[in-house]
Amino acid sequence: MLENILVLNKVNTKTKIAIKTLIAIGLVACAVGLPQIVHLFAGAQGGMLWLPMYLPVLIGGCLLGTWWGLGIGVGSPICSFLITSLAGNTMPALARLPFIIVELAVFAVVAGLFSKKIADNKWLAFPAVLLAQLSGRLAFIIMTAIFGVVSNFSVATVLSQIQTGLIGLYLQAIIVPLIIIGLSTLLKREKHNDR
């Protein structure tokens, strides 16, 4: 979505990369910080209930597209793991890290596939987020079915976690598209005002 707007504004390549980099860094920072805030107020179960890391990743995919979204999806859990390891409270846990990397990567890629279309029709943010959520959760189940024996995860445990996180998924299925629609409207209004 953002790429289309930057092209319409005739922004040069160097500036586009700088803008996207700053946004991506901000979204990764949010993906690291939001879970800490949720855990502070909602306890250890808050992360599994509200799924705060997913929100910035979904926004990144819809806003920046597949490749930048993929970077945010992969980078967010890795940065969170590294930063929280230094603090002594590792999130996500090492055993869960590969699973969440794949899940968030799928979230971002699927949402990112809609990015250019969202620029033309902002309402496509709703199906983009829903398909991203379904695909990411399915990837999590498949990863568990394949590698669960090695990591002590069972499909039943994952299905229980998915059920616990449904409220977070439902809220994000509404909140993320509304954020994307708001940003699209704002950015297009600024383009219209520049004329």
Domain limits, the chain: 2-194
Contact 72, 61 (CB under 8 A): yes
CA-wise closest residue to 161 among 105, 81, 100: 100
- Indicate the CATH number for domain 2-194: 1.10.1760.20
The residue ranking higher by pLDDT, 187 or 180, is: 180
Nearest alpha carbon to residue 118 among 60, 71, 63, 171: 63
Q: Give buried/exposed letters for 2-20 (b at 16+ CB in 10 A, else e).
A: bbbbbeeeebeeeeeeeeb
The pLDDT tens digits of the residues spanning 1-22 come to: 888 888 888 899 999 999 999 9
* Helical H segments across the chain, by residue range: 2-8, 13-42, 46-50, 54-64, 66-87, 97-113, 115-120, 125-151, 155-164, 166-194
- Gap between the Cα atoms of 24 and 18, Å rounded: 10
Which residue stretches of 43-65 are H helix?
Answer: 46-50, 54-64
Instruction: Give 69-86 pLDDT, tens digit per residue.
Output: 999 999 999 999 999 999
Average pLDDT over residues 120-135: 96
pLDDT of residue 178: 97
